[in-house]
Amino acid sequence: MFSEKTVEMMLSGRKLKLSTGKIARQAGGSVMLEYGKTTMLVTATMKKEVKEGMDFFPLTVEYIEKFYAAGKFPGGFIKRERRPSDDCILTARLIDRPLRPLFPEGFFHEVQIVVTVLSYDGETLPDAVAIIGASAALTISEIPFHGPVSGVTVGHVDGEFVVNPTEEQMKHTRLDLQVAGTSNAIMMVESGSDEFSEEQLLEAISLAHDTIKGINLVQEELKVLTCKEKFCFTPDVKNPVIMEFLESAVKVRLEEAIFVKGKHAQAEAVDALEAVSFEELVAKLNLTDEVKIKSLKKEYSKLYHDFMAMAVRLAILHKSYRPDGRAIMQIRPILAESNVLPIVHGSGLFTRGETQAIGVVTLGSKEDEQIIEGLDSERGANFYLHYNFPPYSVGEVGRMGGIGRRELGHGNLAQRALSYVLPSHEAFPYTIRIVSEITESNGSSSMASVCVGSMALMDAGVPVSNPVAGIAMGLIKEGSNFVVLSDIQGLEDHIGDMDFKVAGTEKGITALQMDIKIEGITREVMEIALAQAKEGKTHILGEMAKAITVPRAEMKDNVPRIEVVRIAKDKIATLIGPGGKNIREIIEITGAKIDINDEGMVNVFSANRASLEQAISLIKACTSDLEVGQEFTGKVVRVLKFGAIVQLTSNKDGMLHVSEIRGKERIENLEDVIKEGEMMHVKIKEIGKDGKIGLTKAKKD
């Protein structure tokens, strides 16, 4: 009944198995991938007909994690998987990026790849190996695909690089590097690292590529076993009449238009020439039929913009002449400012050319952590960055609302770049949220988010170890000739072959992201790109330093305060009290937020210093043995003729005798001097053998 084909290999001490022919047989290509005890079903399916008017490649990748894969129920009231999590969307993007350049140019058939995690062993990270499954499904399908391509993760544990580290090893790694490539070249790099050098990262990428070559051979074995015939695809031939007209009548004027300074001025010049030159072509061909003119206009527009892209590429490649007149390694003008907004806890403004971002930092308590639910146990993130890209930033009108995959990806990259310079949560027990509002965009807005986020953190007084800057590198490659561009703008990104983003400090790199549009790049290209990026990053850090160089010594007055009190583990139950009575009382009295962990670390969060000090005083009183001389800020719970009863802790009171209030001065009516419910600062004067506590008034500093 089944004709199952299987190939396997050992990969980092675990068996990688690819099989096809048994499950999901109606899909164009389907593969069951098993790595360790993690199992996923990957399918690739293509529409046979191209949608009318389609002028781009409609590839969609869906990455789905089923909670049953880890023996879990979905959280919330609806016990069914719903929309994909942010992590699932980011993994889908990770799969998409190395695959997309390997489809034929001009191929516009809709292709859908679905990756479903069916079993998760809690040890094998599924994201990078999902690239292997997607490539294998495409490779054995009828879909035209210039693969195979494979992906691996590289960590750095105990001073050594580790390929495909386990979940446990990733908790101790200084590097989280994901690499995808064909047997000949690197297709994609995604990395977060603890200020690694360029040489260290190149070494890790080379190790990854050596491993990838072996995995690709296994995919080729599976392809031979299946022997499915590929769909016959022939790209459309470019209209020779239009191409000849562009070359002879438009080329010179187009070269002038594309080098007009300014994003919008340039776009207007290019669009105006398109309109004028099309009318010239219509007149030259003596066309009068409106239907034919409309059809020709659509074809002309596409070829015109392709011709424009090639003109820009050749000018850069052969003349080292960029559209805005900059040199190959020149950075656009930068203006950096900090503390640009009142009220907020930290802020910055970063402008680089026609790209601009406002960064805002907000500091909160444990309650403000972002709860993340996935195949692993639910966890709270105490640092996160949100990236917003409104349509006005590019001078357009558009729908605003939900966050798209692009915004999630850009925000995640900037978040990773900044995460490596943050203090430990024990040293700085705040939840940190950064928001990057893109107010103008002409390329590299994610790297602007890194720069402005770094400045806003320092403005908020977050003790970061070093400032972080980011830069985007580009590539123009024709045959064996290539040029690497520093700080690419929008047009150069659009017509170029690579978008290589590098972020880091003066000490090293904290994040990398490389995407390409051609079938891979070599180590030589990466070495040049990293060297130029290092020089550019140093320049940008210098410009940022004109606004702010180190974190504020004191946080702003409106920033909530957090302090950590450590108590003995055997005192945790005492602090909490029966049914939470003691901790609730402290919260009600002070208005502070209090969080206790199993190690006896108590985080106290309050909007003002007085409330914070009072809460800490009550916590210490509740969890320590009382001694003569200790001071407390306590609540008067009863007023008697001869004194007042003051609550020191949730379960301990003391007597403040009338003689201790005003010394020898006689007090006729104590209720005229002390009111029930008021707070008093007192000191323990004596502790009787019966445990009764005598108090005296204390002077507060």
Residue extents of the structural domains in the chain: 5-226, 240-319, 334-545, 560-624, 626-701
CA distances from 590 to 133, 148, 560 (A): 56, 63, 14
80: which 2 tokens?
């069914």
Query: How many helices (DSSP H) and strands (DSSP E) are in the chain?
Result: 15, 29
How many Cα atoms sit within 13 Å of 159 on the Cβ side?
A: 0
* pLDDT, block means (10 residues), the chain with 701 residues: 87 95 94 95 95 89 92 82 88 95 93 96 87 97 95 95 93 95 94 96 96 97 90 86 90 87 86 91 87 87 90 89 90 96 96 96 89 75 94 87 86 96 91 96 94 98 97 92 93 92 97 91 92 96 96 89 85 85 86 86 84 83 79 85 82 83 75 84 85 83 56
3-state secondary structure at position 649: strand
**What is the spatial distance between Cα 407 and Cα 413, in angstroms, rounded to a whole number?**
10
**What is the spatial distance between Cα 670 and Cα 668, in angstroms, rounded to a whole number?**
7
Q: What is the DSSP string of 181-246?
A: E-SSSEEEEEEEEEEE-HHHHHHHHHHHHHHHHHHHHHHHHHHHHH-PPPP---PPPP-HHHHHHI
Beta strand pairing call for 160-163 and 150-157: antiparallel
Contact 551, 463 (CB under 8 A): yes
Alpha-carbon torsion, ordered 491, 407, 86, 178, to 10 deg: 30
* Omega of the bond leading into 148 within 30 degrees of 0 (cis): yes
Cα Rg of the chain (Å, integer) = 32
Tell whether domain 560-624 is in CATH 3.30.1370.10: yes
Tell which CATH architecture fits domain 334-545. Answer: 2-Layer Sandwich (3.30)
3-state secondary structure at position 429: coil
**What is the spatial distance between Cα 661 and Cα 650, in angstroms, rounded to a whole number?**
23
- CA 537, 100, 60, 307 dihedral sign is positive
619: which 2 tokens?
């916590």
Residue found under tokens 């203006």: 335
Helices 405-419 and 445-459: crossing angle in degrees, nearest 10, is 50
Beta strand pairing call for 383-388 and 431-440: parallel
- CA 136, 139, 142, 144 dihedral sign is positive
Q: What is the DSSP string of 44-62?
A: EEE-SSPPTT--S--EEEE
**What is the spatial distance between Cα 9 and Cα 16, in angstroms, rounded to a whole number?**
5
Query: What CATH fold (topology level) applies to the domain 240-319?
Result: Arc Repressor Mutant, subunit A (1.10.10)
Let me know if the fold of 5-226 is the same as that of 334-545: yes
CA distances from 220 to 6, 127, 146 (A): 12, 21, 12
Closest to 389 (Cα-Cα) out of 375, 372, 402: 402
Helices 198-226 and 126-139: crossing angle in degrees, nearest 10, is 40
Strand partners of residue 186: 181, 521
Domain 626-701 carries which CATH code?
2.40.50.140
Phi and psi torsions of 481, nearest 5°: -90, 140
616: which 2 tokens?
């800490």
**What is the spatial distance between Cα 437 and Cα 456, in angstroms, rounded to a whole number?**
12
Contact 560, 592 (CB under 8 A): no
**What is the spatial distance between Cα 210 and Cα 533, in angstroms, rounded to a whole number?**
25
- Other beta carbons within 10 angstroms of residue 311's beta carbon come to 20
Beta strand pairing call for 59-65 and 111-119: parallel
* 168-174: long-range pairs with CB below 8 Å, 24+: 168/123, 170/125
Residue found under tokens 């101790």: 172
402: which 2 tokens?
């939900």
Query: What CATH fold (topology level) applies to the domain 5-226?
Result: Ribosomal Protein S5; domain 2 (3.30.230)
3-state secondary structure at position 447: helix
Helices 609-623 and 581-590: crossing angle in degrees, nearest 10, is 160
Phi and psi torsions of 331, nearest 5°: -95, 145
Closest to 312 (Cα-Cα) out of 266, 354, 273: 266
Nearest-5° Cα angle at 529, 195 to 488:
105
Contact 56, 81 (CB under 8 A): no
Phi and psi torsions of 263, nearest 5°: -60, -50
Q: Which pLDDT score is estimated for 701?
A: 56
What amino acid occupies position 230? K
Q: Which pLDDT score is estimated for 122?
A: 85
CA distances from 339 to 350, 422, 552, 557 (A): 12, 19, 11, 14
Nearest-5° Cα angle at 631, 628 to 633:
145
Question: What's the predicted TM-score (pTM) here?
Answer: 0.85
Closest to 266 (Cα-Cα) out of 257, 275, 274: 257
Q: Please list the alpha-helical segments (H only) found in 286-380.
A: 290-319
Q: Which pLDDT score is estimated for 650?
A: 67
Contacts of 210 (CB under 8 A, 6+ apart): none
